Amino acid sequence: MAKQSSDLLEGLIAKVKSHPNISKAGMILCHNGIVRDFSRSDGKKVRSLSVKVDNSAIENARSWALSQSGIVAVEITALEGEFSVGDDLLYVLVAGDLRENVFNIMRELIEKIKTGCVSKKEMLEA
């Protein structure tokens, strides 16, 4: 899985760098969400994770990020299916003019994705 994941991330970076206005960007920030081995809600041990993605909501979140000041390009890949601890779930790339703009939008964008674009069900160890 690691080789495929690295290829996917490299492809997303290449796509962002090929954006016609990339010369206006001073940075590309990348987020790679993975499956952790404990539940955020109660700390119990996670065996696996099932994820469903609302692609329309993902596109709305992407459009929102692109409309923000200083943002040049945004790529989001949210993976759907059954995942094991350590597996990649989410890639978010934001390119923009200044790090302050990019960091702020990345934080808000990830929250939008987590709260409105994906649903997750943890399978816990007995």
According to DSSP, the residues that pair with 104 across neighbouring strands are none
pLDDT of residue 110: 98
pLDDT of residue 2: 46
Q: Angle at the Cα of 3 (from 65 to 107), degrees rounded to 5? A: 20
pLDDT of residue 57: 98
pTM above 0.85, yes or no: yes
Per-residue pLDDT in tens (0 to 9) along the chain, 126 residues:
444 677 999 999 999 999 999 999 999 999 999 999 999 999 999 999 999 999 999 999 999 999 999 999 999 999 999 999 999 999 999 999 999 999 999 999 999 999 999 999 999 998
Distance between CA 13 and CA 29 in Å, rounded? 10
Q: Angle at the Cα of 12 (from 75 to 95), degrees rounded to 5? A: 50
**21: which 2 tokens?**
């206005």
pLDDT of residue 3: 45
pLDDT of residue 126: 81
pLDDT of residue 5: 74
**Check: CATH 3.90.1170.40 for 2-124?**
yes
Domain residue limits, the chain:
2-124
**What is the layout of strands, in order, in the sheet containing 46-53?**
81-84, 46-53, 118-124
Q: Could you identify the residue written with the tokens 């041990």?
A: 45
